[in-house]
Structure 1
Amino acid sequence: MDHLPEAATAFAHVRVPFVDEITFDAGHFVSFPHRVGFNNDFAARSVGDIAALAQGWLYFGTLQVFLGVNFDRNEFRASHPDGDHVSSRPLRQLLTSWLLTKVIPILGPEVVTKTSRSSALELYQSKKSMLELLETVLKETDALEVQPQASSDPLPVILLSVRVLVATLSGVLEETISQSNFSLLEHNYNPGAIEKLRFMDGPSKMPKAATANFLSNEMIANGWCPFMACKVLSSYNYVVAYYISRLRPYNPANHDLCSENGCVAYNVDMSRYHSKHVSPDCDCSHVAPDAEQVRSIIREGGIPIISITFDEQEPKLNVIKMTNKTPYITFSHIWSDGLGNPAANSLPRCQITKLAKYIKERRPPNSPLSKESSIWGI
């Protein structure tokens, strides 16, 4: 699945084993399993047999029918100490060739005005046939997902590669052959541009499918929260879900107590909560605003704003009433970051100083904040 883009700090692509046992014969697509000896006896077959069928038929066979040309599938073979695996990088060049030979001669910007209506309609009919093929592939993949061997390696990752291929090809069709736009906007369409892939099939359609479980387990093993993994798998197609699964969580935490129903990693236990200092060995005193001034402004229906000023390098918190012209900066998620205080309206002096420095260094140019002598926050 390495035809898809890879973020600089992402986990490596999942390796899909290369199973070189069954080759699609270019005959009738749906009846292919029968021609190679599968007579509705999938439940009695080994996981290796089904994996070989899935890859030879639903992956390479689908690609062969879609492209309309024969290709050497050994071009997709990549060596690895753990065994050969499938590298889908050649897919980009194959799709580029398909675009240059099948689509641009009919719908390219330079020839579209000369294209006959019959040629265009023939291309649109071809698109319809290919989408029907991809829908068939998904149905056959669904059928394999319910087999008793579906959760046994290497079947989940092979079926996942099929679903990612289908989402990729459907996205290419929708982007390059469109009746609403009778010309191509780009000559060099990049099939790896995930933001252009249209939803066709997603894990949410089969929440307990082996492929969805595989992605979920991958994300959880890589530090993602089960709740977030479930949200990703129920919101995006397999291409986007797979891409996200390779990203590193931006804010790692312990999600051992989390579930698909919710994340509790950042919940605050008020009985054991302590405000954090900037460094573990710091034990500086707390700084607090005038509590009566805060209460007075609230009683009047106003909003208290705290400004940080310094008196001989000692931070001081001043309280004013906010107006519609008062510039201010807010901080979110303060409790989960250790900047809450269940006992008093105060924070360690080191944290106040750090916040003041942070705001000062990051004030936008020409902002009203840059004209104030004090730094505002709430």
Structure 2
Amino acid sequence: MEGVLPSQPWLSPMSCVKVPCLSPSTHQPGKVPFYDFPRHSGLVSADDVASLARNFPTISSLASFMQSWLFFELLSAFLGQPVSRSDLVTDGFINLDQEAVHGHFWRWKKMLWRASNAQRREAQHAAQDMIHYALLKGDLFEEAADSFGRRDDGFDRVALSVKLLACLLIAVLDDTYVKSSGVLTRWIHTAFGRATFGMVKVANVLDPLHRGLNNPKLSFVDDYFSEMSLSNATKDVYGYEARFVPLHPSEPDSGRAASLLIRLLERNGWCPYRARQVCQSYDYMTVNNLAGLIRNRSSVEDHGRCLETRRCTAHDVEIKPTSTYPFRHECDGNCEFVRVPYEEIANIVRSGGIPVISCSIEGPLDVKIVRCTAQTAYTAISHVWSDGLGNPNENALPLCQLLWLREKIRQTYIEKYPSPLNEDGPMTTRWTIIHRWEISHVLRPDWLETPFGANRIFFWMDTLCIPVSLGSQKSVDNRELRFRAIKQIAPIFSGAINTLILDRGLQDTTSLVPHRAYQVCGDELATLILGSKWMERGWTLEEGCLARSCVLQLMGMPYYLTPSLANRIPKIERHHSPLARVFVQSRRSMVMLLKTALLEDRKRIPFDVGLCRASRLAEALLLPQFVWAWNSLVNRSTTKPQDGVLILANLLDLNVYPLRLLSGEERLMAVIQSCNELPLSLMYNTGRRVHIEGHPELGWIPKDISGNCLTVGAAIRKLKTRKTNDRVAFSVERSERYRQSVLIVATKLGQCIPRSAEIFRVQIPMGNDSGTETQEYIIEIQDTTPSPQIQESHNTGREANTDFLGTCMVIDLTYGTQRARGFAARGVRFLVHARSRMHMDLSYDAPLIARTPKQWWYHRRELWSPLSLFVMESVPLRKRLIIKYGKKFSSHSHSPNTPVYNHRPLEAGSIAC
């Protein structure tokens, strides 16, 4: 959407919508307080849908008043000065990227400089409250628009512009203030940036000398990194908190603004299911950037089943022997297939080695299979099978494809393209080259001694290097070798000199200015990749995250990912207008999203903080790593659903080879059993769950990687028990940071909630003082059992088990919303089996949903009836919560081949040998 946010200086085709400036439908009062604007405009009430429907007979009049109040008046109230519509409009459409608007924001900031800290803090909180109020009223207007019973594109554009403006103003506040302090950030940014740069530089220079003298590292560098909180490290490495997402997971239906974004995404080539996932994952500004770019969509994509199956199936490939694989040719299709000897590949894999393909650099291919050594400089190929570079029947590819691959690999090394050795390339910087050379020299001291273009090219590709052969006599052997090869995925991609990313949609992307293709902006490149099918597949997640250096084929030339993402991105420090700074930050956020998705910052940890501290930090980041890996796989697809567990195990550094002995459902149970720390939110995930006869306490274990995304609000950590003990115990770990968002409450001593109670009311104390304020929720126990027979046995077991002393519940507010159409929280109910002043023994019972009375009335007004009320009390942080269950995960749970957690974090530089 252009106007609220500026048009992007991208070379790729764009498709954006504009917001018209509507004429006021009612009398516009003079300068009045923002909250009193409806009353001064003649409205009796604007607090409910019915009042809005009575006051506005048409949806166009509703849209006009919404724009007057929640856009123009909101902006004027935020800036503390009246803003003329003529300053915000160009050719009848809203346009905030004008000199006059930047001047208004600049004067607003100068006014804050003259205020005291107390006045700034008061202004900050008042602005935040006003923006949140506008967002709530915007939701109310969207509900009122639904009462007209038809879609109106004009209203939808106005609704989206209000949401974008609110997010824009929140971003301005975040950039202007230190959070909740009333202190401006401009001095802190400058001082902190210089201090950080200086400390890291001095440490890099003097650290080798100190190591040589057996002295410890510089103390101030140690102090600096010790002050880095785990929460900040988690945010920097594994993601950001997306506020104000268009489509909240707790809401079954999307509002008008979210519906418009979904339509824009689908119109520009996105999968319908992926479009909804994007709207649930990112904020309005980010989704707006993604929705404006036209994807290069293949004509053979079929997304007809994606919404039904709740995953994108358009790029799934039938890999049965009887199926016809869609091979792609770079010629007329008559070239022969080049086959790699199966036995040679199998022997290398069987002996624990890694096979790589060797071919001549020019002339005849002369394809050979060789064993990878520490001195082999090779390229790993990451591709999407639906593009025609796979082969489900044998290790072979058409000759034209191999010739094309050789050329693309060679392009990543010769100097006319940006390469790791060419510091004069249009997208590289000298500092980036030096930094990447230092990393590579530490990981592979001898890699520069291997000339890239001397005689031969080496590369690894799953189609040619994972043994495949038809025939019943080799089916068992193929399975064995496949798991051995999958076990080597981590060292293969982390040990490659670079990873070549091949996506036909990206390769066929055209530039509006062909001769300037090398000038693709970093944020445009990030947006293209985020919208590609390469980012939708499960196996490419692992390959991209393990790659030391990614090279992308785009517009006919290779792009080294890390330096290319910095190309033509403006620096925030060069802008003084708060609005201009947020516009720049919006562009830079696209780059950060891609880096987060590929764990770029995670790969730098061993080199930025030192190996010893990196090991401890990586250990502390195991929980966020699990959450990130799970959530990433939920948003991606694999042709074989069971492959998701193998990818998860590899990303968690588990040994996947023993998983070959387990069935599909048992594999995920074994992986979870091998983790010493898990997110508590896994217990109320919305995916399918296991049912093990006689073990109802294990009902929280998921059957597959599906359902809603996980959070890191609280965790369960495995406790060490005696070897003779047949029970497993987890301790619930909480922190003060999530105290307000993850509530843990329990019934008072001597009280309990009957297990037969499926719907009931609870009163929960809020705040530090449990007696000051209470919040009421209606709790609905969720049914996760798959069949009536299992449900009957589940209920029977529930009634039979009465050996508990109380009820404990986790209510996670991060999953909820205050809007009427959604719910307030997800959570889980536990049974209390023992309790004292300092600890509580629990067992899993069932997941739950919590609604506010307003939400309950909205959803169940026809079922409104008196419900039982239970008064709960907060569980103090100092009280230890122990969750116990039996060890029976599967029939193979006591097998010595069960994967064991290695406590070895993923490293970007493991040598592939």
- TM-score by structure 2 length? 0.36
Structure 1 segment 310-325 matched on structure 2, within 5 A: 313-325=363-375
- Assess if the C-alpha contact under 8 Å between 1:167 and 1:199 holds in 2: no
Structure 1, 252-261 or 123-132: larger mean CA deviation: 252-261
Shift of residue 28, structure 1, vs aligned partner: 3.7
Matches of 1:153 and 1:204 in 2, distance apart?
A: 18
Matches of 1:55 and 1:166 in 2, distance apart?
A: 13
Shift of residue 151, structure 1, vs aligned partner: 3.9
- Assess if the C-alpha contact under 8 Å between 2:3 and 2:93 holds in 1: no
- Assess if the C-alpha contact under 8 Å between 1:233 and 1:241 holds in 2: yes
Matches of 1:128 and 1:3 in 2, distance apart?
A: 23
Alignment-derived partner of residue 312 in structure 2: 263
Which of 52, 57, 72 is residue 60 of structure 1 equivalent to? 72
2:329 partner SS = coil
Matches of 1:75 and 1:96 in 2, distance apart?
A: 10
Taking a change above 3 Å as real, the CA distance of residues 240 and 13 of structure 1, as seen in their structure-2 partners, is same
Alignment-derived partner of residue 272 in structure 1: 324
Shift of residue 165, structure 1, vs aligned partner: 0.6
Alignment-derived partner of residue 194 in structure 1: none
Matches of 1:78 and 1:273 in 2, distance apart?
A: 53
The one-letter code sitting in structure 1 at the alignment partner of 2:101 is L
Structure 1, 52-61 or 35-44: larger mean CA deviation: 35-44
- Assess if the C-alpha contact under 8 Å between 2:135 and 2:163 holds in 1: yes
Alignment-derived partner of residue 14 in structure 1: 17
Shift of residue 85, structure 1, vs aligned partner: 2.8
Shift of residue 203, structure 1, vs aligned partner: 0.7
Structure 1, 141-150 or 285-294: larger mean CA deviation: 141-150
Taking a change above 3 Å as real, the CA distance of residues 133 and 255 of structure 1, as seen in their structure-2 partners, is farther
Matched, 1:46 2:54: no
Alignment-derived partner of residue 274 in structure 2: 228
1:354 partner SS = helix
Which of 119, 122, 143 is residue 122 of structure 1 equivalent to? 119
Structure 1, 159-168 or 70-79: larger mean CA deviation: 70-79
Taking a change above 3 Å as real, the CA distance of residues 339 and 87 of structure 1, as seen in their structure-2 partners, is same
Matches of 2:130 and 2:355 in 1, distance apart?
A: 63
Alignment-derived partner of residue 105 in structure 2: 98
Structure 1 segment 137-286 matched on structure 2, within 5 A: 137-147=134-144, 148-149=147-148, 151-178=151-178, 179=181, 182-184=184-186, 200-205=243-248, 208-249=254-295, 252=298, 254-257=301-304, 259-260=306-307, 261-270=310-319, 271-279=323-331, 281-286=332-337
Alignment-derived partner of residue 358 in structure 2: 307
2:366 partner SS = strand
What per-residue deviation string (whole Å, max 9, x for no partner) do you get for residues 20-60 of structure 1?
Answer: 11435432433432433434532243101211110111111
Shift of residue 251, structure 1, vs aligned partner: 5.6
Shift of residue 308, structure 1, vs aligned partner: 1.2
Matched, 1:361 2:443: no
The one-letter code sitting in structure 1 at the alignment partner of 2:455 is S
Identity percentage of aligned residues:
25
Matches of 1:351 and 1:239 in 2, distance apart?
A: 40
2:386 partner SS = coil
Taking a change above 3 Å as real, the CA distance of residues 50 and 377 of structure 1, as seen in their structure-2 partners, is same
Taking a change above 3 Å as real, the CA distance of residues 139 and 334 of structure 1, as seen in their structure-2 partners, is closer
Matches of 1:16 and 1:102 in 2, distance apart?
A: 25
Shift of residue 122, structure 1, vs aligned partner: 0.8
1:146 partner SS = helix
What per-residue deviation string (whole Å, max 9, x for no partner) do you get for residues 321-358 of structure 1?
Answer: 12233221111125222111223211111111111121
- TM-score by structure 1 length? 0.83
2:163 partner SS = helix
Matches of 1:223 and 1:127 in 2, distance apart?
A: 40
The one-letter code sitting in structure 2 at the alignment partner of 1:336 is S
Shift of residue 235, structure 1, vs aligned partner: 1.7
Taking a change above 3 Å as real, the CA distance of residues 239 and 289 of structure 1, as seen in their structure-2 partners, is same
- Assess if the C-alpha contact under 8 Å between 1:309 and 1:318 holds in 2: no
Shift of residue 209, structure 1, vs aligned partner: 0.9
Structure 1 unaligned runs (5+)?
Answer: 108-114, 188-196
Shift of residue 15, structure 1, vs aligned partner: 1.6
- Assess if the C-alpha contact under 8 Å between 1:225 and 1:263 holds in 2: yes
1:202 partner SS = coil
Structure 1, 236-245 or 145-154: larger mean CA deviation: 145-154
Taking a change above 3 Å as real, the CA distance of residues 7 and 268 of structure 1, as seen in their structure-2 partners, is farther
Matches of 1:255 and 1:332 in 2, distance apart?
A: 23
Higher relative contact order (CA 8 A, sep 6+): 1
Matches of 2:384 and 2:269 in 1, distance apart?
A: 22
Shift of residue 320, structure 1, vs aligned partner: 1.3
Matches of 1:180 and 1:354 in 2, distance apart?
A: 59
Matched, 1:374 2:371: no
- Assess if the C-alpha contact under 8 Å between 1:16 and 1:158 holds in 2: yes
1:17 partner SS = coil
Matches of 2:274 and 2:41 in 1, distance apart?
A: 42
2:356 partner SS = strand
Shift of residue 359, structure 1, vs aligned partner: 1.1
Shift of residue 302, structure 1, vs aligned partner: 1.8
The one-letter code sitting in structure 2 at the alignment partner of 1:282 is G
Structure 1, 347-356 or 221-230: larger mean CA deviation: 221-230
Shift of residue 105, structure 1, vs aligned partner: 5.6
- Assess if the C-alpha contact under 8 Å between 2:142 and 2:255 holds in 1: yes
Matched, 1:326 2:376: yes
Shift of residue 180, structure 1, vs aligned partner: 7.9
The one-letter code sitting in structure 2 at the alignment partner of 1:272 is T
Structure 1, 350-359 or 53-62: larger mean CA deviation: 350-359
What per-residue deviation string (whole Å, max 9, x for no partner) do you get for residues 86-125 of structure 1?
Answer: 23334x64344333x3433654xxxxxxx7xx72221221
- Assess if the C-alpha contact under 8 Å between 2:269 and 2:296 holds in 1: no
Shift of residue 284, structure 1, vs aligned partner: 0.9
Alignment-derived partner of residue 192 in structure 1: none
1:30 partner SS = helix
Matches of 1:198 and 1:370 in 2, distance apart?
A: 42
- Assess if the C-alpha contact under 8 Å between 1:17 and 1:85 holds in 2: yes
Alignment-derived partner of residue 293 in structure 1: 344
- Assess if the C-alpha contact under 8 Å between 1:47 and 1:153 holds in 2: no
Structure 1 segment 328-347 matched on structure 2, within 5 A: 328-347=378-397
Alignment-derived partner of residue 574 in structure 2: none
Taking a change above 3 Å as real, the CA distance of residues 24 and 177 of structure 1, as seen in their structure-2 partners, is farther
Structure 1, 207-216 or 250-259: larger mean CA deviation: 250-259
1:332 partner SS = strand
After superposing on structure 2, the runs of 4+ consecutive aligned residues of structure 1 that deviate more than 6 Å are none
Taking a change above 3 Å as real, the CA distance of residues 226 and 278 of structure 1, as seen in their structure-2 partners, is same
Structure 1, 58-67 or 228-237: larger mean CA deviation: 228-237
Alignment-derived partner of residue 549 in structure 2: none
Structure 2 unaligned runs (5+)?
Answer: 46-50, 191-239, 414-418, 422-447, 461-913
- Assess if the C-alpha contact under 8 Å between 2:131 and 2:170 holds in 1: yes
Shift of residue 301, structure 1, vs aligned partner: 2.2
Superposition RMSD in Å: 2.8
Matches of 1:265 and 1:35 in 2, distance apart?
A: 54
Select the structure that is richer in strand: 2
